[in-house]
Chain A
Amino acid sequence: MQTDLLLSVSLRYWQDFQDTLAEVVDANIYVFDAKGNIFSSFSKDVAPCKKINQGNTLSNEECINFYKGALVSLKDKNILTCPYGNRLYVYPLGSSVHKIGSLVVAPKNGKITPEGEGEKSFIAKANNISQTVNEVLKAILEKNLLGLRSLELNSIYEISRLMTSTIELEKVIDLITNSLIIIYRANLAFVGLREDDKIKIAKAKGKMGELLTGKEFSMLHPLMEKVFSKVEPSFLSMQELQNFIDFSDLKMSPEDKILLYPLWTSVGSVGLLGITFPTNAMSGEEIKNLQIYVNFAAISLANARLITRLEKEAETDFLTGLYNKRSIINLLISERERTIRYKNPLAVIFIDIDDFKSYNDAFGHVAGDVVLQRLAEVIKNSIRKIDIAGRYGGEEFVLILPGTQEEGALAVAERIRKSIAQHPFPHRNITVSSGVTMAQEGDSAHSLLERADRALYKAKRQGKNCSCLI
């Protein structure tokens, strides 16, 4: 049950009800929340109270402190005398397990003779008021809770439908973080994805979220081992989280709680989901419903990751990590269209390892594979981020250089050739020959590659370990 009356009960409707009840029973009534803060205004004009507080709302500091001190620890009904001598009949609201506030009933004129006949009959009236208020409050809270559950379950249903049909990882992560903040009123929500023995925060939204995105932590950390040793969520204090990820910039209220859900699927853990919220803001029921949501999130993330991996594998050369032949042709088609549209230059370089067959024959294919991997590294380190490198086949590599003129392309080919010639490959030195060409009017991806290939063979004919332009 919510302990914050302001979050659970409409003050606007409550005040109307309270005023009507006060009118009927001819007594002053007002309500405080569980922390002893005023919730509703006085229902009747009680002369001293109205004068002291200059209106119907509690504002006098002495009165405020008196109620705070007296009501927070109130366990059972009691009779109090306020600092201004008024007799007050106070009752805890809610159940014995969940106190949600306090009710104050006071005589209309503020004064009553203690333990006299008048007080006895007023106490009987106040007891009835307390019972009515408690029952009405219970009905309102139950109705609100039902409404909230219905909203929450409906949202979970809709999200689960969408998540299981969404395959883009980014979209799935966005959907998860957005819905956690919207449905569960989280101050901060984040999704961490497992990468080998690490968890990397893929996205964090909410208070300080931008500072958390990208942070990494080891799965071997005792805290993570604890989180992943079970299916249920783990509770952490904000201090524990700050210490754990060494993140003193994450300034949250010390009263905030963090809930970490491990994301499990049948093939193991895919990551974790974390949300922070003020203490007591989430009920046990909400935490259980969130578990249903988390199970869907785990499956969706696992599916989206699998598809992302398959897509990446389909376009990547397994040995070198560069683009494969199919991707390089597709990318060249796109780049060619772009250069035609924007009238920008486009250069293509074909690179071939000189005498690679003899290297393989002499030192074996495993050593040959090491050469291909290291050579790919040299190429990657010699080009800009916007350039594209791929393994075309065997020992042939293709580079696509958007926006690069003839001299620039030749310079890149020469830089790579020299770097490779100086690189300490296993067993012996390696050299490459390069064919460079520029996109011309009427060129297709195929004709460009064909001309770069001709330039390459010209370089081979010129004695290898050189670059030629056609």
Chain B
Amino acid sequence: MSTPAEEKISRYESLLQEMWTTSAQYLGAFSVKLLVERVAWEISQDYKEMELLYFDENGISCAEIANAVKINPDIPIDDMFMKFISKYVEILARLLGYEQTNKIASKLKEEFPDFPIDPKEE
């Protein structure tokens, strides 16, 4: 049986996967990989566990982060993932424009109503 933290990470993984797939339709898989790499590096400055995020052209996996949480349950997963999502959406808005990003965010919010995915208009 999975713990609440594992379930939470699994939800974040599904959201990141969906963000990856949807963004790739507009940007292409290569640019999305570049974007995830960039954001993961930036967030890992504050949350070392973000270095455990695995991704390649096919998508994202949070399995290693989930393993790290088993060893250290104090990892602030919500803060870490929310900062990742916020940074990702911020750069996505620069790449696609506010309106397009807002459409993507609205679509994601239908499936993940518990996560705030709101692009800021520049």
Within B34-81, the residues touching A (CB, 8 Å) are: 34-35, 37-38, 41, 45-47
Q: A162-B30, A207-B94 are in contact. Are A182 and B46 (CB under 8 A)?
A: no
Are B45 and A144 neighbours in the complex by a CB distance under 8 Å?
Answer: yes
B27 close to chain A: CB less than 8 A: yes
Task: Say yes or no: B95 contacts A178, CB within 8 Å.
Answer: yes
| A126-185 with Cβ < 8 A to chain B | 144, 147-148, 151, 155, 158-159, 162, 171, 174-175, 178-179, 181-183
Tell whether, in the assembled complex, residue B122 and residue A207 are in contact, meaning their CB atoms are under 8 Å apart: yes
A461 contacts the other chain (CB 8 A): no
The yes or no answer to B91 lying at the interface (CB within 8 A) is: yes
Q: Given A207-B94, A210-B97, A151–B31 Cβ distance below 8 Å?
A: no
Q: Is the C-beta of B116 less than 8 angstroms from some C-beta in chain A? A: no
Instruction: Kindly provide the distance from the CB of A123 to the nearest chain B CB, expressed in whole angstroms.
Output: 33
Please determine whether B46 and A205 come into contact, CB atoms closer than 8 angstroms: no
Complex CA distance for A178 and B95, rounded to whole angstroms: 6
Bound: A433/B47 CA distance, A: 77
Instruction: Tell whether, in the assembled complex, residue A174 and residue B28 are in contact, meaning their CB atoms are under 8 Å apart.
Output: yes
Which chain B positions have C-beta within 8 A of A181?
91, 94-95
> CA A148 – CA B122 in complex, angstroms?
25
The distance from the CB of A181 to the nearest CB of chain B, in whole angstroms, is 5
Task: Give every chain A residue within 8 A of B91 (Cβ-Cβ).
Answer: 181-182
Shortest C-beta distance, A168 to chain B (Å), equals 11
A10 touches B34 (CB 8 A): no
Residue among B28, B31, B34, B35 with the highest chain A CB neighbour number at 10 A: B34
Residue of chain A at shortest CB distance from B46? A10
Residue of B nearest to A13 (CB): B46
Residues of B contacting A178 in the complex (Cβ-Cβ under 8 angstroms): 27-28, 31, 34-35, 95
In the complex, residue of chain A having the shortest beta-carbon distance to the beta carbon of B30? A162
Q: Which residue of B lies closest to A147 (CB)?
A: B41
* Closest partner residue, chain B, to A179 (CB atom): B34
List, in ascending order, chain B residues with CB within 8 A of A9's CB.
Answer: 45
Residues of B within 8 A of A162 (CB): 30
**How many contacts between A and B, using CB within 8 angstroms?**
56
Q: Given known contacts A174-B28, A182-B31, is B94 in contact with A151 (CB within 8 Å)?
A: no
Contact status B41-A151, CB under 8 Å: yes
A11 and chain B: residue at smallest CB distance? B46
Least Cβ–Cβ distance between A13 and chain B, in angstroms: 7
Q: Which residues of B contact A174 (CB under 8 A)?
A: 27-28, 31
Q: Which residues of A contact B28 (CB under 8 A)?
A: 171, 174-175, 178
Q: Does A209 contact B (CB under 8 A)?
A: yes
Contacts of B46 in A (CB 8 A): 10-13
User: B94–A206 contact, CB under 8 A?
Assistant: yes
**Which residues of the other chain, A, contact B97 by a CB distance below 8 angstroms?**
209-210
CB distance from B17 to the nearest CB of A (A): 19
Closest chain B CB from A275 CB (angstroms)? 12
For the complex formed, measure the closest distance between the CB of B60 and the CB atoms of chain A, giving whole angstroms.
16
Residue numbers in B under 8 Å from A209 (CB-CB)? 97
- Known interface pairs A10-B46, A205-B94, A207-B122; A182-B41 also in contact (CB < 8 Å): no
Chain B residues with CB below 8 A from A183, complex form: 34, 38
Whether B27 contacts A151 by the Cβ 8 Å rule is: no
A residues 173-218 with Cβ under 8 Å of B? 174-175, 178-179, 181-183, 187, 205-207, 209-210
Q: A12-B46, A175-B31 are in contact. Are A151 and B38 (CB under 8 A)?
A: yes
- State the Cβ distance, B80 to closest chain A Cβ, in Å: 10
* Chain B residues with CB below 8 A from A207, complex form: 94, 122
With beta carbons under 8 angstroms apart, the residue of B34, B47, B94, B122 that contacts A155 is B34
User: A210: which B residues are within 8 A, CB to CB?
Assistant: 97
- Report chain B residues within 8 Å CB of A10: 45-46
Give per-residue flags for A205-233: 1 if the beta carbon is below 8 A from chain B beta carbons, else 0. Answer: 11101100000000000000000000000
Point out which of A13, A158, A181 has the most chain B C-beta atoms below 10 A from its C-beta: A181
| A-B pairs, 3 with minimum CB distance | A178-B31, A10-B46, A10-B45
- B residues contacting A by CB (< 8 A) are 27-28, 30-31, 34-35, 37-38, 41, 45-47, 91, 94-95, 97, 122
Given contacts A151-B37, A178-B34, 8 further A-B contacts (CB under 8 A): A10-B45, A12-B46, A144-B45, A158-B34, A178-B31, A181-B95, A183-B34, A187-B94
Interfacial residues, chain A to chain B (CB-CB below 8 A): 9-13, 144, 147-148, 151, 155, 158-159, 162, 171, 174-175, 178-179, 181-183, 187, 205-207, 209-210
22 A-B pairs in the complex with CB atoms less than 8 angstroms apart = A10-B45, A11-B46, A13-B46, A144-B45, A151-B37, A151-B41, A155-B34, A155-B38, A158-B34, A159-B34, A162-B30, A171-B28, A178-B28, A178-B35, A178-B95, A179-B34, A181-B94, A181-B95, A182-B34, A205-B94, A209-B97, A210-B97
